[in-house]
């Protein structure tokens, strides 16, 4: 059985980080590139948000005995295979997980243009993830 209280707490944390990072959503690429402190705050906050999403997914995968994921990105594929998240959200969250790996492991330099695009166009994807998880939780009550 899914630990609803734990997942709801993590979703609340995700929303709090989302509220904080929105402060940076109107930055231009030039403003972002010119401020290393902002870069650090934004990259770290996105990392935390992605890791919270993976953690939430991991709890659901474990509780529902879904296919164990092979990577961060595969975590969302496992949810998709179980019909928990949509194909569209799967593609978005897989990209977010790969972005997280670049930030954490520094495989390559973080592309500032991608970060600004995430800030301007993709923050609501975390709300879409939240909504699909809340839907799952409400269905499990029935």
pLDDT at 107: 63
Rounded mean pLDDT for each run of 10 residues along the chain, 142 residues in total? 90 98 96 95 97 97 95 96 96 95 82 94 97 92 63
Q: How far apart are CA 3 and CA 140, in angstroms?
A: 11
pLDDT at 2: 78
Contact between 38 and 24 under an 8 Å Cβ cutoff? The reply is yes
pLDDT at 142: 59
Which residues lie closer than 8 Å to 123 by C-beta, 6 or more apart? Answer: 18, 21, 22, 25
Whole-angstrom CA distances from 128 to 1, 22, 103 are 23, 16, 23
Pick from 52, 46, 92: nearest CA to 73 = 92
pLDDT at 106: 77
Q: Which range marks the domain in which residue 48 is found? A: 4-141
The single-letter DSSP state of residue 68 is: P
CATH of the domain at 97: 1.20.120.580
Question: Domains in the chain: how many in total?
Answer: 1
């Amino acid at each position: 059985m899914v630990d609803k209280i734990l997942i709801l707490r993590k979703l609340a944390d995700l929303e709090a980080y989302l509220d904080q990072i929105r402060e940076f959503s109107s930055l231009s690429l030039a403003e972002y590139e010119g401020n290393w402190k902002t870069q650090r705050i934004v990259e770290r906050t996105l990392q935390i948000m992605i890791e919270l999403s993976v953690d939430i997914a991991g709890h659901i995968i474990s509780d529902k005995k879904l296919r164990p994921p092979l990577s961060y990105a595969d975590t969302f594929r496992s949810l998709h295979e179980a019909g928990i998240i949509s194909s569209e959200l799967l593609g978005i969250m897989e990209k977010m997980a790969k972005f997280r790996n670049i930030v954490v492991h520094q495989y390559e330099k973080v592309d500032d243009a991608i970060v600004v695009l995430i800030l301007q166009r993709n923050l609501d994807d975390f709300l879409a993830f939240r909504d699909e998880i809340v839907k799952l939780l409400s269905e499990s009550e029935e």
